[in-house]
């Protein structure tokens, strides 16, 4: 790994860095990629359809009134993921209003940066993959938008998923509205809430957007819910939790909610935290997965170990290998 001391000094001289689930997870499995993305500030713009559509479902469920604010709906069908990546990269380097007006060099530079279509022998063939009439509507919306762009097919697909969630009585019982009379029913709810923590005695903090959490001050319970869309089935979700380290996300969100509630509630230690993953799969099946107390406690301990590893990387400025390798703990 090639270090950039100037970029490192900029990173470490800024305000206290706060890890999100995605950045901490990246540090966990590939510190060198974390170094590239966050210290060198050379992150790839993610335009993957499944990520954008996941955000769209969240919006339709929790903040439908913000659809037009957060998304630009393009008529027709969106290009493939690879073409979307190219067009997104190009949008940072040209003000051309149409693809026809984009110069060849801009297209070729983006293709080279992303290592796409390099197997084609001539530049004309590469350019032809990008500069098409079918891609023109997407470019028009992309070049005039600072938000995610989705097509009509994606919107309809996500609306169906959102409706499946809203029509599930078990799930909607979780997402109940707070009552206006606090004395009669002291329940408070929060959707798409940003929370952060400075982490005492640590050189960094944590932050994240919590999909939904509900505090019942009568029962002294806090229920945290994270909505997940998956291209697999609900039967595969247990494996998905491990594969994507969703357990880390649950542990971070639980810690953030607990620490922020402790500022408002004196007897916070008497409150019990519950965590649920509400999952909608590719077949429209919806299921709320309860996380057991034992599992949530195990995940909380796992978070402490991850924070310890992050502290090592951060203080030593060593991002060459994952912590367990640098500590010599990996044996065959």
pLDDT for residue 45 is more than 70 = no
The owner of tokens 């335009």 is: 47
Structure token pair of residue 188: 């408070």
Q: What percent of the chain has pLDDT over 70?
A: 95
Q: Is 199 helix (H, G, I), strand (E, B) or coil?
A: coil
Rounded CA separation 308/5 (Å): 24
Decide: helix, strand or coil at residue 211. Answer: strand
Report whether pLDDT(35) > 60. Answer: yes
Q: What is the mean pLDDT of residues 285-312?
A: 96
Collapsing DSSP states into helix, strand and coil, what is residue 331? Answer: coil
Task: Identify the bridge partners of residue 229 per DSSP, sorted by sequence position.
Answer: 280
pLDDT at residue 47 greater than cutoff 70: no
Phi, psi of 112 (to 5 degrees): -70, -40
Query: What sections of 48-151 are H helices per DSSP?
Result: 49-62, 67-70, 81-91, 104-114, 123-130, 136-142
The pLDDT score that the predictor gives to residue 150 is 83
- More confident position, 1 or 252: 252
> 99 pLDDT exceeds 60?
yes
Mean pLDDT of the chain: 89
The per-residue pLDDT for 42 is: 85
Q: For the ranges 148-157, 191-200, 304-313, which has the lowest average pLDDT?
A: 148-157
Average pLDDT estimate for 9-28: 94
- What residues does each domain of the chain span? 49-162, 173-326
| Least reliable range by pLDDT among 28-37, 148-157, 228-237, 245-254 | 148-157
Tell me what pLDDT residue 134 has: 86
Q: What is the pLDDT of residues 312-332, one digit of tens each?
A: 999 999 999 999 999 888 888
267 pLDDT tier (thresholds 50, 70, 90): very high
Mean pLDDT of 36-60: 84
Average pLDDT score over residue span 115-137: 91
| Spatial separation of the C-alpha atoms in residues 111 and 117, rounded to whole Å | 7
> Model confidence at 46, in pLDDT bands (50, 70, 90)?
low
CATH, domain range 173-326: 3.90.320.10
pLDDT at 144 over 70: no
Tokens of 5: 């001391």
pLDDT of residue 178: 46
Q: Where are the alpha helices (DSSP H) in 100-203?
A: 104-114, 123-130, 136-142, 152-166, 169-174
pTM more than 0.75:
yes
Characterize the bridge pairing of strands 286-291 and 71-74.
unpaired
């Amino acid at each position: 790994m090639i270090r950039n001391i100037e970029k490192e000094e900029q990173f470490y001289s800024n305000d206290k860095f706060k890890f999100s689930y995605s950045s901490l997870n990246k540090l966990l499995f590939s510190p060198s990629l974390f170094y590239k993305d966050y210290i060198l500030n050379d992150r790839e713009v993610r335009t993957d359809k499944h990520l954008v559509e996941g955000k769209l479902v969240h919006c339709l469920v929790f903040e439908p009134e913000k659809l037009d604010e957060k998304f630009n709906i393009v008529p027709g069908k969106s290009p493939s993921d690879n073409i979307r990546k190219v067009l997104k990269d190009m949008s940072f380097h040209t003000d051309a209003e149409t693809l026809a007006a984009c110069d060849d060099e801009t297209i070729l530079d983006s293709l080279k940066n992303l290592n796409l279509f390099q197997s084609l022998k001539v530049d004309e063939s590469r350019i032809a993959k990008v500069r098409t009439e079918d891609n023109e509507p997407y470019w028009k919306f992309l070049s005039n938008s600072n938000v995610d762009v989705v097509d009509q097919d994606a919107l309809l697909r996500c609306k169906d998923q959102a409706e499946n969630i809203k029509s599930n009585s078990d799930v909607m019982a979780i997402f109940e509205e707070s009552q206006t009379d606090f004395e009669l029913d002291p329940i408070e709810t929060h959707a798409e809430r940003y929370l952060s923590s400075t982490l005492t005695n640590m050189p960094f903090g944590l932050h994240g957007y919590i999909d939904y959490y509900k505090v019942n001050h009568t029962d002294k319970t806090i229920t945290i819910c994270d909505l997940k869309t998956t291209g697999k089935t609900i039967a595969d979700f247990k494996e998905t939790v491990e594969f994507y380290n969703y357990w880390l996300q649950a542990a971070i969100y639980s810690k953030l909610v607990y620490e922020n509630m402790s500022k408002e509630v004196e007897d916070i230690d008497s409150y019990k935290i519950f965590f649920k993953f509400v999952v909608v799969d590719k077949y429209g099946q919806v299921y709320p997965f309860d996380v057991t107390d034992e599992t949530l406690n195990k995940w909380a301990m796992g978070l402490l170990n991850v924070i310890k590893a992050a502290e090592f990387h951060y203080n030593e400025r060593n991002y060459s290998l994952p912590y367990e390798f640098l500590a010599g703990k990996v044996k065959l």
